[in-house]
Each structure stands twice: as C-alpha cells, then as structure tokens.
Structure 1
C-alpha cells in the first residue's frame, strides 16, 4: 500500500456530527440533494464579486447628514486604518476585495489536503464561520469606524471562508456524479458567479432601509447579511453527504477505457504539482482568467469611450464631448452592459461545463481559447464599424467562456489526476486565479493608460489591449494542446479506496430514475433556485437599458 495514503481511521477528536464517516450516504439517499447544498455555500461566498456595492456608502460614512465630506487629503494608509474622524477613501476600501482573493488562493492551497481528510461538512462549517463571521467583524469595524477591522473581517477572515467554501464541494460532486462531472461542478460554481447577482441588489435594498439622518446603513446591512450567510452556509454544510467507497451509478461504466484523457487511477496530492500537466492546467486557468477579468475590470469605461454619444442616439460626438447629463445616461447604459456580462458569466459556467461532459474537457478548453482569440480580434472591428450589437454579443460569449473555464477545470483535474485528491489539487490550482486577479487588471489598465497618454481616443483606444488579451488566449491554446495523459508512474499503487471503475462497494441509483425528483430534492432546489431566479430577473431588467 502507498505509504502516503491518508489515515482513514475514524476521527476521535472531532464531534460525531462532523466526522467524515458520519456523512457517508446510506441506502436510499438522493444524490441530487448534494448540488443544492453546494449551491447554498457558493451563492453566499459569491458575494465577494459584489462587495463594491458597499464602497461608496462607506466612503461617506462620517459625512451622513453633514454639509461637507470629512475628507483628509494628506491622510496616509497607516492613518486611514485607525482614523475615526476622516472618511475612508474608495481606494483603501477596494483592497478588501484584493485581500480576499489572495486569501482565497492561499487558503484553498494550504487547507485542501485537510479538507480531503476532514470531509466537506467540516470544511463547509469552517467556511460558514469564516465568511459569515467575517461580515460580522466587518460590521463591527464599520460601526467603530476602524478600517483595519474591515480588512481583517471581510478580507482576511472572509477570504479564508472564500477558499474553503469554494473547494468544499468539488471532490464530493465529482464522486457523486462520475457520469456528469462537468455538469455537477458547473452547477455549484455557477452559484459563485450568481452570488453577487443576488447579494448586490439585496445589499442595496437593506442599505436604503437602514439609512438614516446619521447612519449610512452599512454596518446594519453587513451584520444582517453576515448572520444570514452563516445560517445558509451551515444548512449547506450539514446537507453534504459523500458516497460509499466504490460507489458508481447503476449501469454506468467509466469512459477511461475508451478515452485516454480520463484516468481510472489516482495521483497523490504531494505528486500532482510535480507533473507538467498540473502546471499546464495552471497556466491555462491563469491565462483564461487574466483575459476575462481584464475585460470585467474595464467593461464600463470601454463601452462608454468606444461608442460615446452613439449609445444615446448621437453618433456624431465622442465621449469627451458629452455634457454631464449625457455622461450620466451613457454610464447607466454601460452599467447594463456590465450586468449582461455578469449574467453570461454565470450561465456560461453551467453551459460549458455541461457541454464538456459530451465533447471532453480538452476540446472545451480548445474552444475557449480558439473562439476567444477570434472574438477578441474581431471586437475592434465591430467597434470600428460602430456595431454595438456585435460588440456586446462578442463580449457576452467571451465572458461565458471566462465563467466556463472556472466550472470546467475541476472536472479536467479529475480526468487527469483522478478523484481521490481532486479537491486539494483544485485548491492548489486556484493560486492561478489569485495571480490572474493581479495580472489581468494590471495589464489592461497599463495599456489603456499608455494609449490615453499617446492621445488615442474612441474605438482605437482599446484595440491594442484586446489584441494582447487574444495573445493570452493563444498561449493558453498551446498549453492545452500540450496536456497529455499522465504516465503510470504518477499513479498510486493502492489509493486506499477503490478506483472509479471498481465494482467493489455498494451500487445503486441514489437518485437516478425514479428517485431523482423527490419532494425533499424539489424543496432543496427551490430553496436555492428561487433566489437565483430573482437575481436573474433583477440583472436582466438592468441590462434591458442596452436595447432601448
């Protein structure tokens, strides 16, 4: 037996409800109850994309009801962290998001191995305490006007919850759905994209409700949302179940025998990062995310500066010639564009990941990179001929593939490295996301500024930027081509658990056929589905302004 195999004896320290052995599904359990549990957690932590809704109200927290803002122009960062007399700057508040994304990558990488040993329920519990608790600490920081507490709560602690919450369902879902790996992970990771779609309008409503003559309404909103996230994520964590060792869907046979890109073995966590395949997949995710997140960072100004007055029926004037009222109209249309991109980002996570079950993960990523190159290259052409419809369409497809990359990569990892440690391997791979979160916005903003300094305006302003992003995807296409099946020497001789193709252990439907849509499953799906539909409705309503 491989000496590195994790000790699978019962955990005698943790409470019984949290042990991995306690959450092994019994006969009759419906596997379709697991995706809603994962969605419950991802819909909560996905609010990390919507934190910007708090920055403007917080930048005026001390000025509510006063004739002038409490600004301190000479204030340094060290002073900003502890001041109680000066309003915070938006630039200082935005760092909360950066801290959170960095902590997402670090915590996912550091605690992925522990997650595999402890099980998804324990990891989900810690994620709930960190994410919900981070909001509560942030609320205290806002109440006391201590920026360091906001950084600590919503950035550092919340970022740990982000990382653990993000990877907690991956290993569980690919084991429950070996026949539909892409679809299963796509459903969960779609929730992460949809978290802000629900959380942002909810936060707006709560801030408006709590706002008063002497309060911005933010600390109350953070406290209520933090408590709500804690409860919802705990429900998700306690909804997790893992299949019995060796379980496989009734009548299903592994495609490993007919597809060399899908393995029936398992690579140990300590070996995965030593393979060239891991770093090729790391590069693919980093390049795909860098290109997509670069567009998201500049989506609103890009549409405004390229089309200018054409957005409001005045194609004869550029953005710089618009008056204040016209710029406000153009900004509202650009906000609709951002909302539409977010919607395609979410839907793409499910669509592309599900499609990958049919055409394969390698072919799906090849599509992302090849089609992305074409669309990035064609976008300046669409801008040049003044076609807003084509320009918007191109970027909607691009953002769908950006989201699809996130959702497809866990299934790709399971195909290449096996399912035994896929959650932990996925956690380490997410450092590519943290890296891309720096590279993408940095590259596109630097290129844009260079163009502005050179006096470039209108459609030409972003042409070079888009071509460089197309170059990112071309490099990703090459990396994907180089991914090959792993050599036998990388696989564990005995993983301590049967492989995907093993016949040992229980088998059965666990929700296939007649057991699929039970009342419990319908209720669980309604609990997560109705908020998603509400978010889609709100987002679609805002996006309609593009077509008026």
Structure 2
C-alpha cells in the first residue's frame, strides 16, 4: 500500500485526459468542506446536557470550529513543503485518515459530554485532515492547467465551498434519524466519519500528476499582461520574507475573518434576525444555499480573475463587500423584514469569500511562480487559521455580551456586521499596496515547472 501512495505511482500515462483530475480534487474538497456546515450542530450541542445538567456556552462550542480552522492553516503550513516531495496521493490518504478518525474521537466526546475530546477530534485531528486535504490538489491542478491557473484553482477549491451543501442536510437528517438513540450527535458523527472516509478514497485512487515535460497540446505561454505576473520562481523560505507574501496574508485574513463570521453563525443568525419566521430546518436550508454561493463563487470568481487579473478581482471583493456588510443587518424583521434580500446579500458576500480562497493560489503563482506554490500557499493559510479564531471570537463574544446583559440578540448583528465592513477597508488598502516581487528574490537557477514533480 505504501508504494501505491508514492508520487511515482501516480504519474499519468501518455494520453491521459487532464479533465479526469478535477473530480479527484472535488471528492476531497466536498468532504472536508463539511466543516462549513458546523453551524447545524451548534444549537444541538448547546442543548446537550451533562449528567449533572451542565450546559456548554456559545463561546465554548464556537471554539470547536475555530480549532478546526486553526489546525487547517497550521498543518497546511507545516506539511506544504513535504507535499511537494510526497505527491498529492499520499497527502490525500493522510487527509482521509485524519478527517474520518476525527469524527470518531469527537463522537466519543459528544457521548460522554467531554468537550476536550470534541476539541481533539473535530478540531485537532480533523483539522489536520482539513489542511492536508485542502492543499493537496492545488499545485497538481495548476500543473495540469498552466494555461488557466485561475480556472485550475477554482476547480480545486470550489468543492470545499460546496461541502456544506452535502454536510448540512446530511448532518441534520442523521440527527433526526438517530433522535431516538441515547446519543444522536455521536451516532451522526460516527456515520459521517465512515461515509466521508470512503468518499475521500475515491480521490486517493484517481488522482494523477503530469509527467516531466508535459504541456497542454498546442499551448504556447503568452507574454504576461501584467507586471504582477512573473515568469520567475521564488523559493518558499524566500517568499515568506517578502512584503508581497505578508500583504497577501493580510488580504486573506480580512476577507476570511469577515466571511467566516457569517458562515460560522449562519443557522442561528437567520433564526435570530427573523425570529419566529425561520425554522431550524429552513435555517439548515439557508446554510446549504450559502454553500452553493460559496462553491459557485470559487469557480466563477477564480475563472474571472484569469481575464480581469487577481488584484482587480480583490478590489471588487473589498469594495462591494464593504457596501453589502453595511446593508445586511437592515434586512431583518426590525427594518426591511425581507428574508429573500437577506439570503441574496449573504450569498453575494459568501461568493466573494469563496472567490477569495480560490483566487489566492493563482495570485501566489503570478507573484512567486509555480515552484513551491503548495508550500507557499500552505504558509499563507495561517491567515485562515488566525481568521478562524478571530472571526468567531468577534461574533460569539459580542453575542455573549448581549445575552449576558439581557439585550435582544438581534441588536448585536449590526455591530458585528459593521465590524466586518471595517475589515474590508483594511483588505482594500493591503491589496492596493501589492507590487511585483523584486528580482533579488528570484531563484538563480530557473526551473521548468513541468519538471518540478519529477525532480523531487
């Protein structure tokens, strides 16, 4: 089995159709994207009582999601360079093992009302699976699609945004199915762990890497349309010390912190803003709708960036995002009382949130070249880790403050969403400052990107 997982056993044979690789990437990302549907478990976990009647607080439950996202970024940063040598198949297998077993450990925590076990399972072990699974297809698809890097990263990452489309109804219906059991949440997580492991193994068995020297038939690299698109490569350690890396880190941090605040609280938020008008089942449907926008935004915005450019695309995200975050709280029952408008604005925001994730690898490829792009991408995802902590802390901290002071929860959301609007301004400024990478950072010995897999 170990030899089958080695990179050399996944090299495509002559005549292989590169369009068979995106389904392998999607099988991984659709599975690990389940984390975006975590909000459907929040209220059931808050209602879960210990033997002595103790309940968990909103902040305590919120940490589960935060730890998972933090571990995603940290594991991606730690193992990104290893992935370049090990290949995507081995990384995908490790991701499947961690993600599936994380559910099992978390299930034990739910059954025994032990929050530390849920943190360890869903957060730490599952989070490592998230990180490994997230970055494993990215550089592979960029190598298969050098003619359309934005399209490639959109194909690789859109599945992660669509994960809640499967995870939300699956989790909700399994909890209903196991309602008569002693531990419905635990039974749900055990079932999901098994199902997702099997689903991810499809990607493990079908992924392929291009052979050395491969290029799309008839493709000739064109002259760069922008000074930000470099034909040179930068080593991961060198890239880590450039201002461009840290500006992109801030850009990702701002976009993710704002969007994750909506996603992490999506189900309770729509129920709070439209109290008595939106049921838990309908709220789960809303999470699924956001998943569609998240998924579609990753593909559409990343593909659009191939023509519009990465920097202008992010300018759109931050400008339009500022306006929509300011407007969103006024769609609730105390103002416009329009559920469709709330869903539409939320969907637009989440499409740009997802689009930001899918566009950032191509932005990195433009600035630093394809050499070590997975490793650089992995380190950049520490911004996601930070956002996974900061975003929920902002949301849950403000909500807990309002609840503790016996204030209506609906009044907390304008404060939260206007803070997110402020983050858009910071992101806009950081993106405005991005410049081409200085020649002193380029690799002295240039490397043909098509040979990278073979030379490791």
TM-score when normalising by structure 2 = 0.87
- Distance, in Å, in 2 between the alignment partners of 1:449 and 1:60 is 16
For residues 236-269 of structure 1, give each alpha carbon's deviation from its aligned partner in whole angstroms, at most 9, with x where no partner exists. 1222211123322122232444332222221101
Is 1:222 the counterpart of 2:172? The answer is no
Q: For residues 79-136 of structure 1, what are the alpha-carbon distances to aligned partners after superposition, in whole Å with 9 as ceiling and x for unaligned?
A: xxxxxxxx77776554332222111111111111111111111111111111112223
- Tell me which of 198, 206, 220 is aligned to 1:231: 198
Q: Out of 257, 261, 264, which is 2:228 matched to? A: 261
Pick aligned residue for 1:348 from 297, 304, 328: 297
Where do residues 265-284 of structure 1 align in structure 2 (5 Å cutoff)? 265-284=232-251
In 2, the alpha carbon distance for the partners of 1:150 and 1:295 equals 22
Could you tell me how far apart the structure 2 residues matched to 1:260 and 1:347 are?
29
User: Quick check: 160-169 or 202-211, which moved more?
Assistant: 202-211
Residue 113 to residue 197, structure 1, CA distance change in 2 (3 Å): same
Aligned positions of 1:60-209 closer than 5 A: 70-73=51-54, 92-142=60-110, 146-209=114-177
Name the larger-Rg structure. 1
Gaps of at least 5 residues in structure 2 are none
1:521 is matched with which residue? Answer: none
| Mean CA deviation greater in 261-270 or 94-103 | 94-103
What per-residue deviation string (whole Å, max 9, x for no partner) do you get for residues 424-474 of structure 1? 111111111111122223334555677889999798764454333222112
Show the counterpart of 2:309: 360
CA contact (8 A) 1:256 1:264 kept: no
Distance 1:457 1:128, change over 3 A: closer
Distance 1:98 1:387 in 2: 31
**Contact map agreement 1:207 1:216 (CA 8 A) in 2:** no
Q: Offset at 1:491?
A: 1.4
**Is 1:42 aligned with 2:9?**
no
Alpha-carbon separation, structure 1, partners of 2:272 and 2:168:
26
Q: SS where residue 440 of structure 1 aligns? A: helix
Q: Contact between 1:138 and 1:151, CA under 8 Å: does it hold in 2? A: yes
- Once the two structures are superposed, the pairs formed by residues 363-374 of structure 1 within 5 Å of their partners are 363-374=312-323
Aligned 8 A contact 1:365 1:405 in 2: yes
Q: State the match for 1:33 in structure 2.
A: 20
Query: How many Å apart are 1:60 and its aligned residue?
Result: 6.6
Could you tell me which residue of structure 1 aligns to residue 347 of structure 2?
Answer: 396
Moved more, 168-177 or 150-159: 150-159
Contact 2:236 2:376 in 1 (8 A): yes
Q: Aligned equivalents of 2:87 and 2:169: distance in 1?
A: 33
Check conservation: 1:255, 1:262, Cα contact below 8 A: no
**Aligned equivalents of 2:123 and 2:429: distance in 1?**
35
- Between 1:423-432 and 1:99-108, the stretch displaced more is 99-108
Moved more, 196-205 or 400-409: 196-205
Higher mean alpha-carbon deviation, 426-435 vs 388-397, is at 388-397
- Residues of 1 paired with 2:105 and 2:411: CA distance? 45
Counterpart contact for 2:75–2:131, Cα < 8 Å: yes
What is the TM-score with the length of structure 1 in the denominator?
0.73
Q: Secondary structure at the match of 1:215?
A: coil
Q: Give the match's secondary structure for 1:441.
A: helix
Counterpart in the other structure of 1:511: none
Q: Deviations over 1:183-202 (max 9, x none)?
A: 22212222112222212322
More displaced stretch, 99-108 vs 245-254: 245-254
User: Equivalent residues in 2 for 1:378-397 (5 A)?
Assistant: 378-379=327-328, 386=336, 388=338, 389-397=340-348
Structure 1, unaligned stretches of length 5 or more?
1-13, 64-68, 74-86, 309-318, 320-326, 506-548
Map of 1:316 onto structure 2: none
Question: Structure 2 CA distance, aligned partners of 1:91 and 1:425?
Answer: 32
Match of 2:5 in 1: 18
Measure the CA separation in 2 of the matches of 1:449 and 1:143.
Answer: 26
Deviates more, 1:366-375 or 1:129-138: 129-138
Aligned length: 450
The equivalent residue for 1:84 is none
- Matching of residue 491 in structure 1 with residue 445 in structure 2: no
Contact preservation (8 Å) 1:138, 1:152: yes
1:430/1:208 Cα in 2 relative to 1: closer, same or farther (>3 Å)?
same
Alignment CA distance shift 1:30-1:483 (3 Å): same
Structure 2: how far apart are the matches of 1:245 and 1:102? 35
- In the TM superposition, what whole-angstrom CA distance separates every residue of 1:453-506 from its partner, at most 9, and x where no partner exists? 9999798764454333222112211211211111222111225x4147x9xx9x
Q: Distance in 1 between matches of 2:61 and 2:393?
A: 18
More displaced 10-residue stretch of structure 1: 203-212 or 256-265: 203-212
Partner deviation per Cα, 1:178-237 (whole Å, 9 max, x = no partner): 12222222122221122222123223333433443x523444433332222222222212
Q: Which moved more, 1:23-32 or 1:138-147?
A: 138-147
Q: Deviations over 1:300-326 (max 9, x none)?
A: 5655665x5xxxxxxxxxx6xxxxxxx
Q: 3-state DSSP class of the match of 1:420?
A: coil
